[in-house]
Structure formats: C-alpha cells, structure tokens
C-alpha cells in the first residue's frame, strides 16, 4: 500500500501528510489565545488550516475527475488510486474538523 501511495506524487503526499498531522493535532487544540506563546499554534493556526487542506484535497479530487475522462487506461487506474486516497484523507480531515467545530455550532 505504501508503494502505491508513493506513486501519487510528492505534492499530493505532502498534502496528505499535512492534513493527517494537523487533523490529528486538532483534538488537543483549544479556543483562541492571543498571547505570544506556542498556544497560538494550537488555538489558531491548526483549527484554521485543517479546512483549507480539506478544500485543497476536494479541488484536486475534482481535477482528477475531470482529467480522468480524457486519459488512457493506465493513467485512469492511477487517477482512481489518487481519488481513493483523497477520499480517505479528506474524509478523515472533514470528520475531525466537524467533531472539533460542532460544540461551537450546536448550542
């Protein structure tokens, strides 16, 4: 599975790693703290970047769907693999972010 994941490209791998790491750190994030400490990273930066990563994965997923229609069979298989990985990683990021933001949205 790791060998197949390596075939998706360096930028997509970086996007997946950034999404998984930031979404995994999200449950320990707190509300905003405007002091000049590392609490700013966990209170402001991580909750802000997770939805951005999920949106970027969604855009790349949409691009793969569009490109897929005009490619050869071998490239279609590769794009299907990319789409599968995007769905898993993007779904994980979306679920964790929804779990994090739900208490603020539901009174």
| pLDDT given at position 39 | 64
d(CA 73, CA 64): 14
Cα–chain-centroid distance for residue 64?
16
Sign of the CA dihedral with 88 first, then 89, 94, and 99 last: positive
What integer pLDDT is reported at residue 101 of this predicted model? 83
- pLDDT per residue as tens, the chain (107 positions): 778 888 888 898 999 999 999 998 888 876 655 566 666 677 777 888 899 999 999 999 999 999 888 889 888 998 999 999 999 999 999 999 988 888 777 87
Q: Do residues 23 and 93 make contact, with C-beta atoms less than 8 angstroms apart?
A: yes
**The token pair that represents 47 in the structure block:** 């909750």
Taking the C-alpha atoms of residue 15 and residue 21, their distance in angstroms, rounded to an integer, is 10
- pLDDT reported for residue 89: 94
pLDDT value at residue 40: 67
Tokens 């997509």 correspond to 12
Question: Which tokens go with 19?
Answer: 């999404």
């Amino acid at each position: 599975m790791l060998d197949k994941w390596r075939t998706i490209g360096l930028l997509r791998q970086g996007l997946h790693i950034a999404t998984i790491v930031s979404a995994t750190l999200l449950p320990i994030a707190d509300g905003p703290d405007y002091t000049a400490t590392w609490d700013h990273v966990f209170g402001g930066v991580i909750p802000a970047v997770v939805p951005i990563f999920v949106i970027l994965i969604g855009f790349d997923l949409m691009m793969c769907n569009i490109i897929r229609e005009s490619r050869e069979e071998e490239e279609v298989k590769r794009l299907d693999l990319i789409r599968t990985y995007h769905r898993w990683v993007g779904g994980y990021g979306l679920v964790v972010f929804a779990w994090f933001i739900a208490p603020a949205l539901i009174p």
